[in-house]
């Protein structure tokens, strides 16, 4: 659905996007992660044919961004970081205007489509209210309606939860989780909020200073840079007999004790866990729980960006 080959954009001496190679599948929710200035928005602007690449190629929804820019624009919906709506118009009037601008000329079709989306985003009861009186979260939902009103097969969402309070951000996040299935579209989600990507995206790309650092599922990114796995064992009591038994296991590389909890560093958590549990039970230890500790996507992201590792 989206394919890029060595996509590059420079501004003078600054390389905003550097030889980006990317393949996003039909129906996929794909996360585009990186700090401010990483090149995320520039990439979206190139893919949406708002600016031309300096070099490289890309296709969006089967159309070449250089040869068929009009077809690309008709095939995408865009939510910018600071979406503009006509605040003196009502929510319905805004959507009716943009639906006509997107070429939906039949009034009955427009009414049906607008009602469908406003109901989906829980804005139908406010359809006759002027947008000036909407909260930022409501305006953001309305802007997503605007981006999807013409049923685009590809949707670009640039920082959809930026500047929202936690409750509004969660509401937007919950609705986006259903949006791809509801609209049968491919979504490229650009964000620096790791929670958005972790909860919504099947795969993510981490970008910094115009370069792709790593692409994969959130779990793959954690595994790639998490280092040595740690098994957390909570017990009723850590006796000297239990501690000696754990240290004697073949796969324990380091054992730390925090009151009644043992943190055991191992090479392979899947293989080490049964051995570790067996050793504790044989040493008459009472196990309350066993967990394999994984770094959050945020921890993996920060480690990767600071380290500058490249795929």
- 236 and 220 inside one domain: no
Residues 191-205 have a mean pLDDT of 86
- Window from 147-151, 207-211, 216-220 with minimum mean pLDDT: 216-220
pLDDT of residue 11: 97
- 68 and 112 inside one domain: yes
- 257 and 237 inside one domain: yes
- Each residue's pLDDT tens digit, 258-304: 999 999 989 888 899 999 999 999 999 999 999 988 766 777 777 77
Question: Is 306 within the bounds of a domain?
Answer: no
- 163 and 266 inside one domain: no
- 122 and 151 inside one domain: yes
Residues 169-178 have a mean pLDDT of 90
CATH of the domain at 261: 3.30.70.100
pLDDT of residue 221: 78
What's phi and psi for 40, nearest 5 deg? -65, -50
Please, are residues 251 and 276 in contact by the beta-carbon 8 Å criterion? Answer: yes
* Residue 219 in this model has a pLDDT that exceeds 80: no
pLDDT of residue 54: 98
- Window from 31-40, 87-96, 128-137 with minimum mean pLDDT: 31-40
Pairing of strands 211-216, 55-60: unpaired
* Residue 226 in this model has a pLDDT that exceeds 70: no
- Window from 138-142, 226-230, 241-245 with minimum mean pLDDT: 226-230
Of 174, 196, 224, the last residue of a domain is 224
Expressed in angstroms, the distance from the first to the final Cα of the chain is 22
pLDDT of residue 162: 85
- 209 and 250 inside one domain: no
- 26 and 145 inside one domain: yes
Question: Is 168 within the bounds of a domain?
Answer: yes
- Window from 180-194, 209-223, 235-249 with minimum mean pLDDT: 209-223
pLDDT of residue 308: 58
Of 165, 191, 224, the last residue of a domain is 224
Question: Is 308 within the bounds of a domain?
Answer: no
Q: pTM for the whole thing? A: 0.77
* Residue 248 in this model has a pLDDT that exceeds 60: yes
Domains of the chain: total: 2
pLDDT of residue 3: 98
Question: Is 285 within the bounds of a domain?
Answer: yes
CATH of the domain at 46: 3.40.50.300
- 59 and 201 inside one domain: yes
- 173 and 287 inside one domain: no
List, in order, residues 6 or more apart from 115 with CB less than 8 Å away: 124
- 65 and 150 inside one domain: yes
Please, are residues 185 and 41 in contact by the beta-carbon 8 Å criterion? Answer: no
Question: Is 303 within the bounds of a domain?
Answer: no
Of 196, 224, 252, the last residue of a domain is 224
* Residue 310 in this model has a pLDDT that exceeds 70: no
Instruction: Give the structural domain span for 245.
Output: 228-294
pLDDT of residue 225: 65
- Each residue's pLDDT tens digit, 37-82: 899 999 999 999 999 999 999 999 999 999 999 999 999 999 987 7
What's phi and psi for 45, nearest 5 deg? -65, -35
Question: Is 50 within the bounds of a domain?
Answer: yes
Cross-strand pairs, 216: 204
């Amino acid at each position: 659905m989206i394919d890029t080959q060595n996509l590059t954009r420079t501004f003078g001496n600054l390389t905003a996007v550097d030889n980006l190679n990317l393949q996003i599948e039909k129906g996929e929710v794909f996360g585009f992660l990186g700090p401010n200035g990483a090149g995320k928005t520039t990439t979206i602007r190139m893919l949406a044919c708002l600016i031309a690449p300096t070099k490289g190629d890309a296709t969006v929804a089967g159309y070449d961004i250089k040869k068929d820019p009009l077809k690309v624009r008709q095939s995408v919906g865009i939510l910018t970081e600071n979406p503009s709506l006509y605040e003196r118009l009502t929510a319905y009037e805004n959507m009716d205007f943009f639906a006509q601008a997107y070429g939906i000329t039949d009034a009955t079709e427009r009414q049906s489509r607008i009602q469908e989306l406003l109901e989906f985003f829980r804005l139908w009861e406010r359809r006759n209210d002027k947008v000036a009186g909407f909260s930022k979260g409501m305006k953001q939902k309305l802007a997503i309606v605007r981006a999807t009103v013409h049923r685009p097969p590809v949707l670009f969402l640039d920082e959809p939860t930026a500047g929202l309070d936690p409750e509004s951000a969660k509401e937007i996040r919950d609705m986006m989780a259903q949006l791809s299935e509801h609209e049968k579209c491919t979504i490229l989600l650009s964000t620096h909020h790791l929670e958005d990507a972790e909860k919504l995206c099947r795969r993510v790309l981490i970008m910094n200073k115009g370069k792709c650092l790593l692409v994969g599922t959130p779990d793959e990114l954690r595994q790639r840079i998490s280092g040595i796995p740690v098994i957390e064992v909570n017990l009723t009591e850590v006796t000297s007999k239990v501690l000696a038994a754990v240290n004697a296991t073949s796969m324990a590389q380091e054992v730390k004790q925090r009151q009644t909890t043992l943190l055991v560093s191992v090479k392979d958590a899947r293989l080490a866990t049964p051995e570790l549990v067996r050793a504790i039970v044989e040493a008459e230890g009472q196990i309350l729980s066993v967990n394999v500790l994984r770094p959050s996507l945020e921890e993996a992201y920060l480690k990767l960006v600071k380290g500058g590792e490249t795929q």
